[in-house]
């Protein structure tokens, strides 16, 4: 059980939470929650008009709501905003959304009662994940629709997946021994204002990208041995002269992966001057991508513990100030950066595969198969890579530069963060497939250099590949092997663990 301190959340903890670690807020957070809830009670009792506490929302912000209708106001807010469409978000993403919502509320600026925290915590503890449509948020005024579906489930509306069994929300709550939640002043608004859906999807894309990036490093190093490529471009002095941190790290990683390779040692004085860019420029390209992922990780780590609802309650003065922390522009930029970085990781991987299957470039049999002509070898798996690369290029166009005004012009600039995040997640998945094909090609190329062996580290990678895709002798059905390798990359099982 991780004890969450929203004021000191870090990437390692978020990675554990993404992987399913149990968690709950620390005592200091609950003290802050109680203090803010008491402040909201005092504001209501004072009769002061405060947005979201006793007014309508958006363009209706100037409409005062009488005290006897405040509970109705908050319930109607949730129901009216539960209007998403599309496929349901994955369970692990919904789980991360709940954790992030707890972190934001735990800062003590939202004014919800402890029982709201307890209801959200119960969903985590009982593995009960509300079904949340992926589409419907523009990433401003909070992720309104996705978060409304999350909270509607606690009200007994919608559906809940209880450990894999999907039930109507009322039935699920009854099975869990929970009563439908009745919202107090501001609570509905506090729960649906916020960037937790966008941030959860973006973190999912980030941590998936982290695994894919590690596999791509291994694939790139194995491809160097398959090509009998040069180690010279990875000389630390070259990268030090430029000074880019990602480049320095990638060059060091590739040197370490190739250390001890008999294949590499066999051609040290071959006279070959330069390899294609996709081989020798890996530190420059992959390193630049790594730097972007690091920057995105910093933004998303800050956002994970941020106060992003509205208005923000300052309990020391019993004031609630309306601002714009719900605007998810930082998340949108971070997600678009992940998308662009991973697009290039996939692009350079496909180019290495194209070199390996081309006998003019690699010196290996055409399409890495004997008896070519009767056999097509890796001809068409590379075509699949090309299709995924092309798809990624379309998906990588930034969503963050778009805006469609909503709420009768009151919300006239929006971030499109959830769209950016969902695209980044899809690109990362696509790149896992691209890298999977490169691993097949690189392993096949290395086999042609037997009895020479690759390095000890790359022998382990080679063995992982061969466990899912045997050496190619004659043409066979490819799709299952490619899917298995894509899955292994996504699960972090194809290569040694890599952390941003």
Active-site residue list: 51
- The residues, ordered by sequence, that sit 6+ positions from 418 with a Cβ below 8 Å of its Cβ are 134, 137, 138, 139, 143, 146, 197, 198, 201, 328
Q: Provide the 8-state DSSP code for 409.
A: G
The answer to whether 118 and 102 are in contact (CB under 8 A) is no
Angle between helices 456-468 and 196-227 (to 10 degrees): 110
The answer to whether 161 and 123 are in contact (CB under 8 A) is no
What gap in Å lies between CA 364 and CA 370, rounded to an integer?
Answer: 10
Q: What is the largest CA-CA distance in the chain?
A: 86
Residue 77 CB neighbour total at 10 angstroms = 22
What gap in Å lies between CA 300 and CA 500, rounded to an integer?
Answer: 13
3-state secondary structure of 116: helix
What gap in Å lies between CA 34 and CA 107, rounded to an integer?
Answer: 11
For 420-457, b/e burial (b = at least 16 CB within 10 A) is: bbbbbbbbbbbbbbbbbbbbbbbbbbbbbbeebbbbeb
Angle between helices 329-357 and 282-304 (to 10 degrees): 150
Tokens matching residue 141:
């005024």
The answer to whether 333 and 139 are in contact (CB under 8 A) is no
Tokens matching residue 285:
């390209």
Identify the sign of the CA torsion 160, 163, 167, 171: negative
Tokens matching residue 434:
């691209």
What gap in Å lies between CA 446 and CA 262, rounded to an integer?
Answer: 11
Residue 313 CB neighbour total at 10 angstroms = 28
The answer to whether 215 and 432 are in contact (CB under 8 A) is yes
Angle at 291 between CA 289 and CA 297, to 5 degrees: 105
């Amino acid at each position: 059980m991780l004890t969450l301190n929203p004021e000191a959340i870090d990437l390692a903890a978020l990675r554990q939470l993404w992987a399913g670690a149990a968690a709950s807020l620390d005592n200091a957070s609950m003290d802050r929650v109680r203090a803010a809830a008491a402040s909201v009670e005092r504001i209501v009792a004072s009769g002061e008009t405060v947005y979201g506490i006793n007014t309508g929302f958006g363009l209706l912000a100037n409409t005062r709501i009488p005290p006897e209708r405040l509970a109705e106001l908050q319930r109607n807010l949730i129901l009216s905003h539960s209007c998403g469409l599309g496929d349901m978000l994955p369970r692990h993403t919904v789980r991360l959304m709940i954790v992030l919502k707890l972190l934001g509320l735990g800062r003590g600026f939202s004014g919800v009662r402890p029982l709201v925290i307890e209801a959200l915590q119960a969903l985590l503890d009982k593995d009960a994940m509300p079904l949340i449509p992926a589409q419907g948020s523009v990433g401003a005024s909070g992720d309104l629709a996705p978060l409304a579906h999350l909270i509607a489930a606690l009200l007994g509306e919608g559906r809940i997946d209880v450990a894999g069994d999907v039930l109507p929300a009322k039935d699920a709550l009854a099975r869990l021994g929970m009563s439908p939640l009745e919202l107090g002043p501001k609570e509905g608004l506090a729960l649906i204002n916020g960037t937790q859906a966008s941030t959860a999807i973006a973190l999912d894309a980030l941590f998936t990208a982290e695994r894919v990036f590690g596999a791509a490093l291994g694939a790139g190093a194995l491809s160097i041995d398959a090509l009998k490529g040069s180690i010279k471009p990875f000389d630390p002095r070259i990268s030090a002269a430029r000074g880019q941190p990602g480049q320095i790290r990638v060059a060091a990683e590739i040197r370490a992966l190739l250390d001890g390779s008999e294949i590499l040692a066999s051609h040290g004085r071959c006279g070959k001057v330069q390899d294609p860019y996709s081989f020798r420029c890996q530190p420059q390209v992959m390193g630049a991508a790594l730097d972007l992922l690091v920057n995105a990780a910093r933004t998303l780590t800050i956002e994970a513990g941020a106060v992003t609802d509205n208005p923000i309650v300052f309990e020391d003065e019993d004031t609630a100030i309306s601002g714009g922390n719900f605007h998810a522009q930082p998340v949108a930029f971070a997600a678009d950066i992940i998308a662009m970085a991973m697009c290039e990781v996939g692009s350079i991987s496909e180019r290495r595969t194209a070199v390996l299957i081309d006998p003019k470039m690699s010196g290996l049999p055409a399409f890495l198969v004997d008896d070519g002509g009767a056999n097509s070898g890796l001809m068409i798996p590379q075509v699949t890579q090309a299709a995924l690369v092309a798809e990624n290029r379309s998906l990588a166009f930034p969503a963050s530069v778009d805006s469609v005004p909503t709420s009768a012009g009151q919300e006239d600039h929006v971030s499109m963060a959830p769209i950016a995040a969902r695209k980044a997640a899809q690109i990362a998945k696509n790149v896992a497939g691209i890298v999977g094909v490169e691993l097949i090609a690189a392993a096949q190329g290395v086999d042609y250099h037997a009895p020479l062996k690759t390095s000890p580290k790359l022998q382990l990678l080679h063995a992982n590949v061969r466990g899912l895709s045997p050496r190619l002798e004659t043409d066979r059905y490819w799709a299952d092997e490619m899917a298995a390798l894509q899955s292994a990359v996504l699960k972090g099982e194809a290569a040694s663990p890599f952390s941003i």
